[in-house]
Structure 1
Amino acid sequence: MYTQCPECLTVYKLEAELLVPGCGCLRCSHCDAVFNALGTLAAHLPPEPFTRLPDHALDQDPPLADVAVFRPRPVVDEAMEPVEGTEPADEPAVVEEIGEDFSQLTFTPRFAKPRRRRSWHTAAWVAVCTVLVLGLGAQLAWAKRDVLVADPTIGPLIETGCAVVGCRLPLVSAPTRLRLLARDVEQHPSVSDGLLITASVRNDATFAQPYPVVTIVLSDANGQRLAMRRFQPEDYVGDAATRARGLAGGATTAMVFEVQDPGQRAVAFAFSFD
C-alpha cells in the first residue's frame, strides 16, 4: 500500500500494521508533518508521471463488511444448562456455510474448554507440605535439642511450652555450670577406717541437668595422689525418680560420699564433675 504526505507530497510505501498505533495517522520523515494516511491510501501507484495520489473522503458512513471468512463459536460455561437450539460443547468441529460460493466457507474450531481448578487438590497439597515442613523442623529441633534447651533465650520458652502440654524436656549435661559451694570431710560414724565426705553443689544453669559423675581425689601435703574414686549418680542419689528429674536449674543439693580412709597422710581432697 502507498500513501502521500499532503505537505511535501512525499509518497511512502507502508504495511497495514504501521497504521495501527496512530489510528491511521503517520509522521512524515521528510517534513515532520503529521497527516492521516488513510486520506491518500492506495493499493497501487498510478502511471508516472503523477503529482498527487487520489484523495479519499473520510467523513462518510463506514462501508459494510459482508465477506466473512471466520466466526468463532461462543464458549459455553460448564455450569450452564444447554440452551435449546445450541449444540453441546463436546460436539466435533463443524464447517458453517456463509454463502453459495465455496470460497466463503468458514471453519469453526472446537476450543478446549477451560477446566476448573479443584480447590480441594490445592488444600490437600498445602496440608501435605505443611506436615512435611513441621516434621523436618521437629527432626532438626530434636537433633539440636541440647543446644536449644541450653540457650538462655529459647530454653525457658521451650520449658514453658512443655509445661503447658505436659511433656518433659530431655536433661542436658553441663558440668561446667555446677558450682561447689561447700565441702567437708569427717570420720565415718559407723566404719572405723572410713571417711564421710559431704558437698553442697549448685546448678547455675537455667535448665535441669542430670546428676554428674563425681570424682574425688585425696592427696598428701606434697600434692601426691593417695586415692581416687569416681561416683556414679546412683552411688549418691538413691531415689530413681529424683535421678530421672535431674538437678533443676538454680537448685542446690547436698551430696554425701563414703570413702576408705587412706591414712594420716591424706590432708587434702578435690572434687571434679563429669
Structure 2
Amino acid sequence: MYTQCPDCRTVFSLDAGVLAHARGAVICGNCETLFDALDTLADQLPPEPFRLLPGNARSEEAPRLEVAVYRPREDVPVAEPAPAVPAFTPRFVHERRAARKRPRRWPWVLTCALLALLLAAQVAWAKRGALIADPAIGSWLRQACATLGCRLPLVRDVRHLHLVARDVQAHPSVPGALMISATVRNDAPFAQPYPVVSLTLSDADGHRLAMRRLHPSEYLDDAAALRAGLAPGASAAVLIEVADPGKRAVAFEFGFE
C-alpha cells in the first residue's frame, strides 16, 4: 500500500502494521509532517507521471464488509486475542534518521569561500589600473604596500603628465640638426611609467612638417629608473635630436602617450 505526505508530496510504501500502530497517523520521513495515511491510502500507484495520489472520502457511517475470506466454525473456541505488537518506528522514519547523519558541510563552505576570494583577486588584478588611480582606493593600497613592504604596479595616466619647460636650438656638434629639450612632471599621486613622447614640427600655417615618437628607452638609458617609473611630483628631462626641416618649421608640439 502507498500513501502521500500532504506537505512535501513524498510517496511512501507502508503495510497494515504501520497503519494499525497509530490508527493511520504517521510522520513524514522527509519533512517531519504528522499526517493521516488513510487520507491518500492506495493499493497501486497511478501511471506516471503523477503528482498527487487520489484522496479517500471519509464517512461517519462505518462500511459493511460482505466479502469474507475466512469464517471460524462455531464449535471451535475463539482464540485469545494476540498480544499487542510491540511498538515500532515506521521504515521511512528510520530512513529519515539515517539521512540526518550527513557529512560535514564546512569543507564545501571553505572551498567556496576560497574560490570567491580567488575570483575577487583576479578581478582586482584585471582592474588594478583603475583601482590604483582611484584617489581613495589608491591611497589605501599605497599605505598597505608601504606597511607590507610590497610594490604596486606602475599605472599609466597621461592626463597627469604636464610639460613644464621646453626649448629648441641648433645642434652644437651636428650640422643641419636641431636639439630639442623638454621637462615633463608627474602630477599624479602615484608613480607612472615613463611616457612615449611625440614631437611634431609645423609651419606657420599649422601644416605638419615632421613628427617623431620616442619610447622611454630612446631618451632614458637608466634601466633602474625605467623600472621605478616617474615618481609622484617628480620631473624628467627629455632630449631629442632631429634633422633641421629648415626655416619653414616655426612651431613644435609635444605629446605624451
Of 247, 251, 255 in structure 2, the residue corresponding to residue 268 of structure 1 is: 251
Q: How many residues align?
A: 175
1:102 alignment counterpart: 82
**Which one has a bigger Cα radius of gyration?**
1
- 1:263 to partner: Cα distance: 1.8
**What is the CA–CA distance in structure 2 between the aligned matches of 1:104 and 1:127, rounded to whole Å?**
52
CA separation in 2, counterparts of 1:269 and 1:145?
35
- Secondary structure of the corresponding residue to residue 192 of structure 1: coil
2:177 to 190, 194, 201: 194
- Displacement, 1:138? 0.4
The residue aligned with 1:144 is 127
Q: Secondary structure at the match of 2:135?
A: coil
Question: Which structure ranks higher in relative contact order (CA pairs < 8 Å, sequence separation ≥ 6)?
Answer: 2
Q: State the distance in 1 between where 2:244 and 2:157 align.
A: 31
Q: Hey, what does 1:124 align to over in structure 2?
A: 107
1:211 aligns with 2:194: yes
Q: Does 1:181 align with 2:164?
A: yes
Gapped regions of structure 2 (runs ≥ 5): 1-20, 23-79
SS in structure 1 of the partner of residue 87 of structure 2: strand
Other structure's SS at 1:105 match: coil
Which of 243, 249, 267 in structure 1 is aligned with 2:232?
Answer: 249
Structure 2: distance between partners of 1:129 and 1:263: 69
Q: Which residue of 2 aligns with 1:162?
A: 145
Report the identity percentage. Answer: 52
How far apart are 1:235 and its partner, in Å?
A: 0.8
Alignment RMSD? 2.4
Check 1:265–1:109 CA distance in 2 against 1; reply closer, same or farther (3 A cut).
closer
Pair 1:102–1:201, CA change in 2 (3 A): same
Distance, in Å, in 1 between the alignment partners of 2:84 and 2:210 is: 115
Read off the aligned partner of 1:244 and give its amino acid letter.
R
Q: What amino acid sits opposite 2:181 in the alignment? A: T
Find runs of 4+ consecutive structure 1 residues off by over 4 angstroms. Answer: 113-118
Task: For 2:206 and 2:239, locate their aligned partners in 1 and report how far apart those are by CA, in whole Å.
Answer: 24
* Separation of aligned partners in 2, 1:104 and 1:128: 53
Amino acid in structure 1 at the alignment position of 2:85: L
C-alpha offsets along residues 73-107 of structure 1, whole Å, 9 cap, x if unaligned? xxxxxxxxxxxxxxxxxxxxxxxxxxx73153333
- 1:230-255, Cα deviation, whole Å (9 max, x unpaired): 11111111112211221122222221
Select the structure that is richer in helix. 2
Provide the secondary structure at the position in 2 that maps to 1:106. coil
TM-score of the two chains, using structure 1 as the length reference: 0.57
